A and B are shown apart, each in its own frame.
Chain A
Amino acid sequence: MHLMYFTEQPMSAYPEQAGRDFGATALMLSNKHFDPVEGSRLYNNYIEQYMLAEEVGVDGIMLNEHHNAPFCMQAKANIFAAVLAGMTKKVKIVMLGNPLPLAENPIRLAEELAMIDMISKGRLVSGFVRGGGQEQLATGVNPAFNRERFEEAHELIVKAWTQEGPFRFEGTHYQHRVVNPWAVPLQKPYPRVWIPGVISKETIIWAAQQRYPYIALNTSIEQTKKIWELYDSVAADVGYVGGPENRGYLIQVHVSDNEEKAIENARQFRWMQGEFTGLAHPVWSTPSGYGSPSARRTFVEFASGRASNPRGETSFEQQMADLRIIAGTPKTVVAKLKRILEETRPGILALWGNDGRVSQADSLTCIKLIGQEVFPAIREIAKSLDLKSPFEANAPVGIKYSTDLKPRKAAAAE
């Protein structure tokens, strides 16, 4: 079991009323409300949190990236990865992930990630994402080519990592006449790639085809099971058996030394007026061409205010009941996590410990309890359930490096 700590790095010092007055807390909420003095304080708080996480024994620190919104302060995940590469000694630096379509030059990403891998002495896990809809608009990238750019940038980066240069790359969205970066990853054939996601079937299918672990982001137990059903069926088509080493799960868990305080702090998981990526016009979060064509009708109904959010909207109490938010003392939390582990069998688990305006003192307490009490208990449970991480299972980095493939006979016969 690979156990990680995660925070969205909330810009908790933004004036909430300004967001309410404007009617949105994402993309277009003016950055005149961003106070860099508070920003500086918070960035350094987050570094302190990560350093403690390493000290109390977490296996990995999960990083991500978003733009133009207070719910996440990381405008470039690789910056924090670079900071941690130099400051930490043992933890894996787990990018979940770099939004590939936003890159105009994926070679730069390949170089940055190679540098992080070398500086950290091989501790990089290089996850990739499509980036949210708002991210495309915040960076001026065409949402209609999001998935094509994702797949092509991935192809180019892996090539840059594994094929000797110089070579030429002539793609549909990326053309590079000279690819020859003088920075290559320390880990061979290349750093592990994990793919996080929430809703798109296409991404689950793609991850399974690549044999990359898929990290389900805060889905309900039922949704998570459906994700593994799909992943495993694609895995079987491709010729391998999906298992815990292919499955990751991120969940909002706040731990405290008393139950009431834990629940009070856990309410902060809904601090953006209950909207995980902030309150926004629906067409910002799902610009045309970004989503699956099969979901087009559902999204236009939602966008015009005639249907509820297809991504789901549930109350804090309901999310607690569904085990999408867990809060309490280590004992309570471990018991609930055990049920999730038994039912969904992941080999990678990330706890999203703190959000919103949880104080630095309470955040540090949470991290300490996670590292010293929750994770040791989870490790034992994982052992008894035989939940191996990709590292423990020595899983191949990707499909091309698999030596055990047995594609379905039916597929071969057709």
Chain B
Amino acid sequence: MAGVNWTDSTIEAGGTKLHLQRAGKGRPVVVLHHETGTLDRLPFYDALAAHYDVLVPHHPGYSRSERPTWMRSVRDIAVMHRGLLSELKLKNVALLGLGFGGWIAAEMASMAPDDLSHLVLVGAMGIKPPEGDILDLAITGYVDYARAGFHDQKAFDRVYGAEPSIDQLEMWDICREMSFRIAWKPYMYSQTLPHLLGAVRAPALVVWGDDDKVVPQSVAKRYVEALPNARLEIVKAAGHCVDMEQPETLAKLVTNFIGRE
């Protein structure tokens, strides 16, 4: 989608510099990216920016944001992003979390259940799968792991290229190190999060690819049970990274859920 005018800036939230990309007008929608970091521009972000004021902060320690060495948990990231929202004077935003970013979004929702318009979780980590396990970054190669996020490998090639650059591999390593620092044990979930979601009254949409090889679909059910006002959508022929594999399908689900202005 050409013509979307993105601005990049650095915002200091509680002493840490965070990179923020922002475009569009309307209701603020905060997109929280995967544990593999994020590319600067993606068709999914463009599709959302046609309808909303889209904010994509880079998580501390990921992509273009600096690493706070003191950080020890995913909840720390959630608090920092809450700080970023107050720095930007944004209230009642919609939170849209992708995979690992879904975990952060759920934590942010649990912290201030009144300060949230909508919650969208796509293949979200953060809850121990009742069945199956979350794919282990630590024993999987960089490209193998990133490819595991896609049902259709051609979609991966479109996003990252058939042979991702060394710069990309290095960035994946930096992101991976940050994930180890904050989500090593238990790996990629919180034992308390599902018990803290009961206060979230905002409507929630839980989206899962039908071929998610990173986070088992059993987690989707736990999110729907734990959130008082949630429903589930399964996207056919999609892997974990629904946003990169089927950007238009996901954008449509999101706009139907949040509504257009």
Contacts and interface: CB of A to CB of B under 8 A. Distances in A.
Interface string B22-60: 000000000000000000000000000000000000000
Interface in B167-194: 169-170, 172-174, 176-177, 180-181, 184-185
B144 to A, nearest CB: 9
A301 B169 contact: yes
B169 A142 contact: no
Given A137-B139, A283-B139, A306-B166, A142 B181 contact: yes
A401 to B, nearest CB: 32
B173 A300 contact: yes
Q: Helix, strand, loop or mixed for chain B's interface?
A: helix
A283 B180 contact: no
B181 A301 contact: no
A140 B187 CA distance: 10
Contacts of A303: 141-142, 169
A137 B138 contact: yes
Contacts of A27: 139
Given A289-B177, A296-B173, A304-B169, A142 B141 contact: no
A131 interface: no
A289 B141 contact: no
A30 to B, nearest CB: 14
Interface string B132-160: 00000111111100000000000000000
Interface residues on B, range: 10 to 19
Contacts of A283: 138-142
Contacts of B143: 304
A193 B32 CA distance: 48
A282 B180 CA distance: 17
A301 B164 CA distance: 11
A143 B166 CA distance: 22
Interface residues of A, number: 23
Contact of A143 (B142, B174, B180): B180
Contacts of B181: 142, 144-145, 289
Given A142-B181, A287-B180, A288-B176, 17 more contacts: A28-B139, A142-B184, A142-B185, A143-B180, A283-B138, A283-B142, A288-B173, A288-B174, A288-B177, A296-B170, A296-B174, A300-B166, A300-B172, A303-B141, A304-B142, A304-B143, A304-B169
- 6 closest Cβ contacts across the A-B interface? A289-B177, A288-B176, A288-B177, A300-B169, A144-B180, A142-B184
Interface of A: 27-28, 137, 140, 142-145, 281-284, 287-289, 296-297, 299-301, 303-304, 306
25 contacts: A137-B138, A142-B180, A142-B184, A143-B138, A144-B180, A144-B184, A281-B139, A281-B141, A282-B141, A283-B139, A284-B139, A287-B138, A288-B177, A288-B180, A296-B170, A296-B173, A296-B174, A297-B170, A300-B169, A300-B172, A300-B173, A303-B141, A303-B142, A303-B169, A306-B166
